[in-house]
Amino acid sequence: MSSIYSFVWTDEAIDNLNGIINYLEQNWSLKEKSDFFKKLEKRIGIIKQFPEIFPKSQKSNDIHRSVLTEQITIYYSIENQIIKILSLFDVRQDPSKLKI
């Protein structure tokens, strides 16, 4: 079953992902990094297939949130058959830093 949705990453989400990659490179083992990326890839696949499955954010009724790990939450929107990854937010940060 193929998705009818297009899929894009915002600049903010790409910056978040690059920050996570830098952190992983410096602090995690190869296996832990691999496990993280497998989990991310699997979650993105679920979002692509069933974008409405995850709850809406308290910040906005137009934004969904998916808890990827204890530390990272994925925020995304669905607009005109386009899924936009808005942020990969480290929940240990000050919530006011969430740019969505």
Q: Are 8 and 85 in contact (CB under 8 A)?
A: yes
CA distance 84 to 33: 24
Give all domains of the chain, ordered by start, each with its CATH number: 6-89 (3.30.2310.20)
CA distance 15 to 30: 21
Q: What are 17-67's pLDDT values in tens digits?
A: 999 999 999 999 999 999 999 999 999 999 999 999 999 998 788 999 999
CA distance 52 to 49: 9
Q: Alpha helices of 11-88 — where are they, by DSSP H?
A: 11-27, 30-49
CA distance 24 to 26: 5
Q: What are 83-94's pLDDT values in tens digits?
A: 999 999 988 887
Using 50, 70 and 90 to split pLDDT, how confident is the model at 99? confident
Q: Are 6 and 84 in contact (CB under 8 A)?
A: no
Tokens standing for 21? 């990659």
Q: What are 64-85's pLDDT values in tens digits?
A: 999 999 999 999 999 989 999 9
